[in-house]
Amino acid sequence: MDTDGNIRSLVLSRAAAILAVSPQQASNIVGLVLLFVFFVVAGGFFGAAESGFSAMNKIRIKAKAEDGNRRAKRAMYVENHFDGALTTLLVGGNIAHIASAAIATVIATRLFGEGQTVTVLTTVLTTLVVFLFSEMIPKSFANDRSETMAMSSGWLVIFFMRLFFPFVWFLSLISKGFTRLMEKFVKVEKEPSITEDELYDIIDTIEEEGVVNEEQSDLFKSALDFSETCAKDVMTMRADICAVDVSRSNAEILEIVKKTTHSRLPVFEGDLDHIVGTLQIRTFIREYRKNPETDVRSLLIPPFCVSPDAKIDDLLSEMRQYKFYLAVVADAEGRTQGLITIEDFLEELVGEIWDEDDVVDKNFVKLGGNRFRVNPKLTLGEICKRIGTKPTEARLAARPLLAILLEHFGRIPEEEAFFTLGDLEITVEAVEENRVTAVDIHLLSPETTPEEPANAQTEPSSGVSSAQD
């Protein structure tokens, strides 16, 4: 004890000599300096905790809490009571900052006396120290290690939440009262915590960070777009419908069935504007083997008609409920615009579904809804011929689509860049290694419509089957 006392006296004596004050005053100043450091550190803790809980990944913390991690459970408790926790951290931080400033002023006054210069210098230095060590550095540190900070500081934040509860409750009461008063003058609409556009940005971010690959990212985006997609955007166009006339003999229908790869065929009476039902191929063949003269009308499933503007997510639920695999897309006047199947819905999510019987032409793929994916090396004339229209400018017919793209943009275009050429909306779908590899074309207003056969229709091109399993 004597040795310790001698050391303490020696330290105070030297501090008193340096500061030119008495040992008693030196003792008081050292104590104030330690108290100043304590409040600066406390302010840094409150700031770091605020930043950590604001930036932490709630999903990962919740998963750890569900696995039994106690620190994660405490962090989730703070997250679930974040309004109270935030008020607590703000109160604690402000107390620490005010106390730091007050103590710094006392130290400066005792050392250098009162004066305007001393006050200004003390204010500047204190502000700098508090800003660096209670705000910027702790918050930057916590932001980079948000989960670690949140899980480590959870128990201490809960302690302060309980310690400051009466004060926090009183401040929250004042805040809520003021908010309700302001709502009488300013209407505030509640917004979701995250919007659809922000969700797209999140998907792009996690793809860039390598959390998901490009295919998974596209699947997420397709799921988001699914609810906004209409029947007309994915339907098999009228000109591509493979159908049979109910007036045909059973033998003729059988020949048509042999040539098609579809599991169901729409059946019309007179023309495609008068579809009377859907013929399931297996049912027809089974009944035909029993009785070649069976009445086809008795085998038909009643037609299910939908509007071109109907949302496909609603149609999917309705068609599954009533067990309709195929639907007829008809306008307000009852004219058939196309066909849509459950397979078309799935392709909107996962892309084209190819069967072993499909002949895949990767240079020209029908996407449905007057949309086509083409190889930019094809000439515009070849593309228009396959679509069923004519180039608006004859001079461009022999030119590759890629050359037209380069001429229009004056450079290698970026993905999703688009322009309109006559009745064609041309969109760059994929660019790899500074090369355009795929282009989407949307036929806005076809100049020519292929004539329909009076009876059986030609089979649709591969990849846009109207009723294929």
Question: Tell me, what DSSP letter sits at residue 311?
Answer: B
Query: Residue 299 pLDDT more than 60?
Result: yes
Mean of the pLDDT values across residues 247-261? 87
Q: If you average pLDDT over every residue of the chain, what do you get?
A: 80
pLDDT score at 354? 59
Q: Provide CATH code, domain 231-350.
A: 3.10.580.10
Query: Residue 5 pLDDT more than 70?
Result: no
The mean-pLDDT minimum among 101-115, 284-298, 309-323 falls in: 101-115
469 and 450 Cβ atoms separated by less than 8 Å: no
Two structure tokens written together for 342: 């459950």
398 and 337 Cβ atoms separated by less than 8 Å: no
d(CA 50, CA 82): 10
The mean-pLDDT minimum among 30-44, 105-119, 128-142, 318-332 falls in: 105-119
- Which residues neighbour 98 within 8 Å (Cβ) at sequence distance 6 or greater? none
**Nearest Cα to 396, choosing from 426, 418, 362, 434?**
426
- Tokens 């159908």 -> residue: 243
The mean-pLDDT minimum among 78-87, 398-407, 459-468 falls in: 459-468
d(CA 78, CA 161): 9
Query: Following CA atoms 267, 270, 274, 276 in sequence, which dihedral angle do they give, to the nearest 10 degrees?
Result: -40
Q: Which residue has the higher pLDDT, 346 or 291?
A: 291
Angle subtended at Cα 466 by Cα 465 and Cα 469, rounded to the nearest 5 degrees: 70
Instruction: Determine how β-strand 244-245 pairs with β-strand 264-269.
Output: parallel
Give Cα separations from 328 to 153, 268, 347, 388 (angstroms): 61, 11, 18, 22
Mean of the pLDDT values across residues 181-208? 74
From the centroid of its chain, how far is CA 85? 29
Mean of the pLDDT values across residues 6-10? 49
pLDDT per residue as tens digits for the range 381-394: 888 888 878 887 77
| Residue 276 pLDDT level (bands cut at 50, 70, 90) | very high
pLDDT score at 318? 87
Highest mean pLDDT among 16-20, 34-38, 193-197: 34-38
Domain 371-443 has CATH 3.30.450.20: no
Query: Residue 99 pLDDT more than 70?
Result: yes
**Share above pLDDT 90 across residues of the chain, in percent, rounded to a whole number:** 4
pLDDT score at 267? 92
Q: Report CA torsion sign: 186, 187, 192, 197.
A: negative
| Strand blocks (E) in 367-417 | 371-374
| Residue 453 pLDDT level (bands cut at 50, 70, 90) | very low
pLDDT score at 452? 40
- Which residues neighbour 122 within 8 Å (Cβ) at sequence distance 6 or greater? 104, 105, 108
- Tokens 């006559």 -> residue: 422
Query: Residue 95 pLDDT more than 70?
Result: yes
**Nearest Cα to 278, choosing from 267, 262, 287, 288?**
267
pTM, 2 dp: 0.51
Q: Could you tell me how many residues make up the chain?
A: 469
Query: Residue 256 pLDDT more than 70?
Result: yes
d(CA 263, CA 455): 19
Query: Residue 22 pLDDT more than 80?
Result: no
The backbone torsions φ and ψ at residue 72, rounded to the nearest 5 degrees and listed phi first, read -70, -35
pLDDT score at 458? 36
| Residue 371 pLDDT level (bands cut at 50, 70, 90) | confident
